[in-house]
Structure 1
């Protein structure tokens, strides 16, 4: 019942409330981005939604205008050089994700769910297929985000996504929501220009 009806209703209520409460802060962020570097305020990118349909995700722009568009950050050479001054702060605090409340309102995303993959992240999409994580709406935050985020390798991310997809409940969503707030304030799990750092660190330690 919750997964079919309650979750979507809760998404609408939370995203509408966020639109009202965050209108002024988001306006200030938009102004900062405009003053910081030339280019649009918002960044659109094709992502994979429920049932592997595609949609355009919205973010505050955090990189220069000449950044390759459909390349994941961890695949960019010297990724830090592309990130703007305002963008570095927005990414560390996850404030760049705020415009996705409109993706939630449109029904393309949920507040809680697997983070939407780039349309060309075939390894992640395939890994999620195996655990049926592509069968649910992607989210603003999710189980993988509160268990390592960028530090997790693809297979571990997919495993967490599958675990969530198999147990979509109100209480799971509540726990992930509040754990996400803790992660944001502590700035945990953010690895610019890299992914799977947790796994890599373990391998480096074991080889010494």
Structure 2
């Protein structure tokens, strides 16, 4: 068995502990650790390595396999106790609780009972200096990233909660990307 440069030497790893070689060349083949550690007895070593080995070489491989196995066992702790199936998934985005832009209640702006009329809602938008496209403040509405959003009822560009169409005249428009888009009178939805 021949070893790669530095393969037989112990080197200090990032933790300061001595590391054994991670890759060895056995009978002209590169032997790298596998995902699952095999049985680590000298007899088991003979079954998966093609060339005869000395007892010392077998002992070195057993030590290496045990270190690899311990590293694999430590992975769940490094991943924050996530399972293998969830380790690669991004955490789910948490939605902020619903808050009405008009009265700060815990309902959607379109369902606000305190400010029912479009005129009173437009007044609040002006008083609070909120954007008519997204309902938040702190930016110029002409630079709002939602300035192309269209009202669900009248096809104009503003928040649907600000629509001044009479409720009986409102129609809910399905987005254009849905086939066979149709208009449904609001009073027929529920």
Greater RCO (Cα-Cα under 8 Å, separation 6 or more): 1
Structure number with the higher helix fraction is 1
Aligning the two structures, in what range does the TM-score lie when normalised by the shorter sequence?
under 0.3
TM-score, normalised with respect to structure 1: 0.20
Task: Look at both structures and tell me which one has the larger radius of gyration over its CA atoms.
Answer: 2
TM-score, normalised with respect to structure 2: 0.22
